[in-house]
Amino acid sequence: MEIARVRSLTGERSGWIKRGRVAGKPYKIDRLAPKRIPFLGKGAVKKFNECSPPITTFRKLAELTDKRITALAKKKVATKANILAWRKAAQDAEDEPTSSTDHRKAANPYQSRWGDEERLEGSSGMSRYVCVTTMVEHIFEETKEHMQEIHGEDCDDWWVYHDALSLMTATTTRAWMEEKGYLKHWILPECGLNTHTPKHKQYYSKAPVGNSPELMPWDCSLNKDFDDAISHHITQTHHLAEDHECKFSYTTPVRGSYCLRRVYECNPRSERIVQDVNRFPKHLVRIMESEGCVVRDIGNSKKEEESLRGLRSGKRGLAAAAAEEKDGVKVDRRGGQEREHCGLFGYLCYWRGGDKGEGCG
């Protein structure tokens, strides 16, 4: 995203074009011009051009012999000392400027401009993002460290459950996870799960199918714990001055960020996390018993569709009508669309069996 932004920049002064020619610096291929070397004025340049043969470039000035310099001084083109100084400056000049480099055209403009220096991650355009490999490393390394603290350094029988982010399930990411030894610890479909149709085999045979709040305690309920804890901290410290070290405040973005990070260190509490995570297998059983449908009264799925409005984005509303039969397949109507029951929780509703008939009906 940041690379695309850099490539779209226009103008010569964007900083991403390295000019080979340095402004004001003389090169031997250049024509004589005033002020390119010290004390070389318009009058001297004009007299050099009128000489026979004329001295029109810095290269010709650099090639002047001592004999000709003496002759030029006698003709009062300039003093001998000045001509000697100008010749020395012309001799020290580079032959020609190097070619310009447009870093915007490189595969990685940041690497082209600064080499291996890590500038991309710290750029303003990337401040809101984190690389998926950094996130994956955090998930698995922190889990590994925690489990080994409890069960010993030889503990290797632990697993991570995470819904399918497109960047996590990408072929290159999976290959990298396999190389790092992470993939074997990720709970994934096995034993031919989700291969009953070409579409499911293509998209869901090697990855869980996505997030559903009742299966994600943080999304479903622990976010509420976190928000409540922040509100309590802000309320309890309302009387303190804004610059007090114990103050919790949302009055500015900086204070709000500081408030969030401080509360996150201790909330939600461990017992609440365990309590909500323990609901996960119970919800799985309820979903499988319902043949993969949205189940009311688990997580934040309420009895009435109205009660779900505005709670979260991307929600799946609950239709009032019961499931219907259409062409021998159970469907329900959600948001004006007809969906097969088995398509909602493919990686869950097929845990009971390998094919569609046995798993979903």
Q: What are the residue boundaries of the structural domains of the chain, listed by start?
A: 2-19+100-126, 20-99, 132-187, 213-318
Amino acid letter, 178: E
Evaluate if residue 119 carries a pLDDT over 50: yes
CB 60 within 8 A of CB 45: no
**Which CATH code, of 1.10.150, 1.10.3470, 3.30.110, 1.10.1040, is assigned to 20-99?**
1.10.150
Give the whole-angstrom CA distance, residue 297 versus residue 318: 11
E-strand ranges in the chain read 17-18, 101-102, 324-326, 329-334, 337-340
Evaluate if residue 328 carries a pLDDT over 70: no
39 or 340, greater pLDDT: 39
E-strand ranges in 26-113 read 101-102
Evaluate if residue 104 carries a pLDDT over 70: yes
Residues 192-243 have pLDDT tens digits of 777 777 776 777 777 776 667 777 777 778 888 899 999 999 999 999 998 8
CB 261 within 8 A of CB 233: no
Neighbours of 78 (CB within 10 A): 21
97 or 60, greater pLDDT: 60
Give the whole-angstrom CA distance, residue 197 versus residue 204: 10
